[in-house]
Amino acid sequence: MKRMQDKVVVVTGAARGIGEAIARRCAEEGAKVALWDLRQQDADAAAAAIAADTGAETLAQAVDVASAAAVNAAAAAVLARFGRIDGLVNNAGIVADAQLKKMTEEQWDRVIGINLKGVYNCTRAFVDAFLAQGSGSIVNISSVVGVYGNFGQTNYAAAKAGVIGMAKSWAKELGRKNIRANAICPGFIATPILGDMPKEVLDALINEVPMKRMGQPKEIAASVAFLLSDDASYVNGAVLEVAGGLTI
């Protein structure tokens, strides 16, 4: 039997990058997967490709995680369709970088709204269902930046530190109900989010990584799948760096 057979997993920001790889890996492991992303057509395309490649049941939903109303409606649709929720992967995230002295209120609010409040919105929307079931696994996608900070990323670092704090709080609040919450901190992963970075900057960053390469989205997905699965049945409140040794 596959490790996530018949489990229901929701992945936010699932149309591309790390989120798509997580959704794909969960589908390969037997899960039914709801893919949430901003645009319906992008979610549809990823969900259709994953369903065709894996045979898994997928559901594509247009959801802005920053909107509690949109999130609540989408969560209700997941529960109506599948009748349960086993895994929630809070992956949707953006960057809007600027040094502190140049950062605007709009940049701060946008990143906090999606990367921090979005994680709260999604987990809040499913917590009653998790509690009623007495089981579940929540994975927050943070970043090494959430632990160590980063030049030009006041807003992003604040949000990514915040989602670690939320995962630890939920680990304490919900653990007794057999609901686990953990955080993953990716290092440099080859996805469109790094698209605007100049090549010299990227090369210099890669040189800092002991493994001398960027990670691939599927290498984050493998760790997420572990945390979602019963193989991680006693892993709760953990912060797992998947960064090729970048921070040592």
**Least distance between ligand NAP and beta carbon 192 (Å):** 4
Q: Closer to ligand NAP by CB, 123 or 143: give it.
A: 143
Q: Is the dihedral of CA 184, 221, 170, 240 positive or negative?
A: negative
What is the three-class DSSP state of 88? strand
Q: Which residue has the tokens 């890996």?
A: 25
Q: Closer to ligand NAP by CB, 61 or 137: give it.
A: 61
Rounded CA gap, 129 and 138, in Å?
A: 13
**Least distance between ligand NAP and beta carbon 80 (Å):** 20
- Note whether 9 binds ligand NAP by CB under 6 A: no
- Note whether 60 binds ligand NAP by CB under 6 A: no
| Annotation says 156 is catalytic | yes
Rounded CA gap, 33 and 53, in Å?
A: 13
Closest CA to 14 of 66, 58, 79: 58
Task: Pick out residues in 167-226 that bind ligand NAP (CB under 6 A).
Answer: 186, 188-189, 191-194
Among 10, 24, 59, 64, which residue sits at the site for ligand NAP (rule: CB under 6 A)? 64
**Least distance between ligand NAP and beta carbon 187 (Å):** 6
- Note whether 54 binds ligand NAP by CB under 6 A: no
End-to-end distance of the chain based on CA atoms, in angstroms?
Answer: 38
User: For the window 88-117, what string marks contact with ligand NAP as x by the rule CB under 6 A?
Assistant: ---xxxx-------------------x---
**What letter would DSSP give residue 98?**
B
- Note whether 241 binds ligand NAP by CB under 6 A: no
**What letter would DSSP give residue 198?**
-
Helices (H), 112-185: 118-133, 144-148, 154-174
Q: At what angle do helices 118-133 and 68-82 cross, to 10 degrees?
A: 30
Task: Pick out residues in 117-156 that bind ligand NAP (CB under 6 A).
Answer: 118, 141, 143
Q: Closer to ligand NAP by CB, 186 or 244: give it.
A: 186
Beta bridge partners of 189: 215
Q: Which residues are at the interface with ligand NAP (CB under 6 A)?
A: 12-13, 15-19, 36-39, 42, 63-66, 91-94, 114, 118, 141, 143, 186, 188-189, 191-194
The residues assigned a catalytic role are: 156
